[in-house]
A and B are shown apart, each in its own frame.
Chain A
């Protein structure tokens, strides 16, 4: 397929995944802040940090610890100056869909376009004011519907593979970021067990990743404190399709297939990086990684996953003309 179009497929799913994650995250947080008494800076600031928007938010809106919750939510959902706001993610998802109309199915397009119209034509705004939980649910459902339609209406071929690759890498980074925001509650330095608030926070994190039921089924597998057990689960449970390792494994499988089907030997660097990351996560017991400074580990994971995405980009989406010419001679 055309390189640029492959790139649009990759980004299409990244943006939809981001939309889904954010809608879920905000929805969970809304209910969470009602349940537990939290210091102001623990209420909404973490979401701004997960989105990597701390500085811009401070500049455009104010101190997240002191502005009203409403301002944070508005920023996360509607602000067009926030490049990762819900409305911007949907806009860019749709822009990528617009440039891949000949690749995606009509149902996928209509689903995404419905979501866009919902946000842009008033009914979404009305729901946001009148029944916010339903608003987030609708956004999340529509995004999930889109991702499901990709799996059920497309040929299991290159375009879908690039979509999946984008989705897995994006999701790996999202889960890593969510974990990172809670990292300060972990570590050997802490003593005296976990407070009820902390337990509630860990539980909220599970819900934010849609992993609460999975965790309950799996059960804590060690005597570690609940925070460590949950962090380990979200970091390294290979069966969980939202854990960092689970996402990276699936990304690697997708990339392997792409490389096997291509004849040009492209994608080698991305694959090597990805394999190194996965090996590193498997090299030590998860509890040990978590307890031994998870912040540094997560920062490394996020940075390296970006590097993988960069290699994919250069290999497949934006090939140098001279390199392509070289393949001809």
Chain B
């Protein structure tokens, strides 16, 4: 359709065709009103530091860009970088759609973000240590006891258990959005098993393959060291706190899990075995892996199996994915589990409003990162407000993820709003609500040319004996026009995220 529209009169297609300049990629691009655009100012100029990228992409032109987008898609398919959609046992494999126009975060904003993320992870970790220890924060009344201890993610049987090195959140994925002012806001914390980092690394590889010229002299920071950082964090904790020598492994639920590609990818790039539950067993409160040469000791497990499936002796008896006795071994301090057990109580959406207080309480600092105003439906006044304003709010189930269990007020039907009102009244602790934040947008390739689409951002923080922030992250983009939902299961795609110095700023004006 766009092809026929662009078909020029014949005289133009003859002699001059080869030398005709390509149609600039961003020609006619109009940022979305009311939203912060990641590349352009409201006036349509490239933002500070983005000029070189915009110019280079413009020079690539629409035609060539389309070709490269296709190359990128083929490249994912060829490499088998897919996720599985559960429809039947065989599963349908899909590519996570990738958009070639990068999202850029430049200094000094990145530095500030980095400090904010490290601070937030430190607070989450301190909160967990306290909740499974002396519970001072509850005794001091800073955080309401019933909210935290009432979280499904709180595992009371682990009270008193301190993980090796006192580290709970080895891998954190903190979801951020940017409001209309351009400030980053925390939308939610993922302190259990945040996924998606393999796409960050693969996206970058594909990007370099199809757009080598785009990177030249821009000093985009590399993302490739993530797996080694994660391995070093695990090995370091195991060496210091478990002492007897042993393997580090990645633990996966198996090849039919939708994120299996990532589990396998990480094991490969970390250089450690990829184990399934049935490969491991516990003997004398120590973990072993069954090998072709007999059992071998395991000291650190980066596990991608949820708490409740991890050990049928301790949690769900019917779990076939887990390792019987693993929790005992963990409680004895004989194995590093990353992430630790019971983290779900701090990334519970009803606990989220209290994280800034936890930052102040444990660290004695003001939170560097702001977050979104949140109404706890368990509080009477807040619930009343939510029920009266369902049409303009986002309601979320406290323990859901992946964009499920959500009501997006402005685009919802009256029927669905009624349904959520019923659910909220039935289980107030189970829901929170937030005002709709206008997400930032990024120019994105669509069938009709480049158009603004909403994005969010998930940076990854690895913590062993100290914290390290991956200089980049997963930018997810809502590919459907008008959509706010970025989840891969619901029509979302991803973009490469570039963290760059501000050296080029001088030549670009706002």
Contacts and interface: CB of A to CB of B under 8 A. Distances in A.
Interface of A: 1-6, 95, 98-99, 101-102, 109-110, 113-114, 117, 121, 158, 162, 258, 262-264, 266, 316, 319, 321, 324-325, 327-328
A2 B275 contact: yes
Contacts of B279: 2-5
Interface stretch (B238-246, B283-291, B402-410, B461-469): B283-291
Interface of B is mostly: mixed
Contacts, number: 84
Contacts of A319: 290
Interface stretch (B20-28, B108-116, B261-269, B308-316): B261-269
Given A2-B273, A102-B273, A117-B78, A263 B283 contact: no
Contacts of A110: 78-80
Interface in B56-90: 77-80
A121 B288 CA distance: 42
A80 to B, nearest CB: 9
A3 B273 contact: no
B294 interface: yes
B490 interface: no
A319 B294 CA distance: 9
Given A1-B273, A101-B264, A327 B78 contact: no
B273 A4 contact: no
Contact of A266 (B264, B274, B292, B295): B292
A253 to B, nearest CB: 17
12 contacts: A2-B290, A3-B290, A98-B260, A102-B268, A102-B274, A114-B78, A158-B292, A266-B294, A319-B290, A324-B288, A324-B294, A327-B295
A93 to B, nearest CB: 13
Which interface residue of B260, B268, B290, B292 has the most chain A CB atoms within 10 A?
B292
A328 B268 contact: no
Contacts of A101: 264-265, 267-268, 274
Given A101-B264, A325-B283, A4 B294 contact: no
B139 interface: no
B373 to A, nearest CB: 44
A102 B294 contact: no
B206 to A, nearest CB: 14
Nearest to B271: A102
Contacts of B274: 2, 5, 99, 101-102
How many residues of B sit at the interface, in one of the four size bands? 20 to 34
Contacts of B283: 325, 328
Q: What 4 A-B pairs come out closest when comparing CB atoms?
A: A102-B268, A101-B264, A264-B294, A102-B267
A121 B80 CA distance: 13
A1 B274 CA distance: 10
B278 interface: yes
B255 interface: yes
A2 B268 contact: no
Contact of A113 (B80, B264, B290, B295): B80
Given A3-B279, A101-B267, A319-B290, 15 more contacts: A2-B279, A3-B292, A98-B255, A99-B255, A102-B273, A109-B79, A110-B78, A113-B80, A264-B293, A266-B293, A316-B292, A321-B281, A321-B290, A325-B283, A328-B283
A3 B264 contact: no
A27 B96 CA distance: 37
A4 B78 contact: no
B276 interface: yes
B203 to A, nearest CB: 17
A73 B291 CA distance: 41
Contacts of A5: 273-274, 279
Contacts of B295: 324-325, 327-328
A82 B295 CA distance: 38
Contacts of A113: 78-80
A101 B79 CA distance: 11
A324 B279 CA distance: 11
B292 A1 contact: yes
A102 B290 contact: no
A121 B18 CA distance: 34
A262 B296 CA distance: 13
Contacts of A121: 77
Query: Which residue, of B79, B273, B274, B281, has the highest number of chain A Cβ atoms within 10 A?
Result: B274
B281 A325 contact: yes
B289 A2 contact: yes
A263 B278 contact: no
Given A117-B77, A117-B78, A327-B294, A98 B281 contact: no
A271 B279 CA distance: 25
Contacts of A162: 292
B200 to A, nearest CB: 18
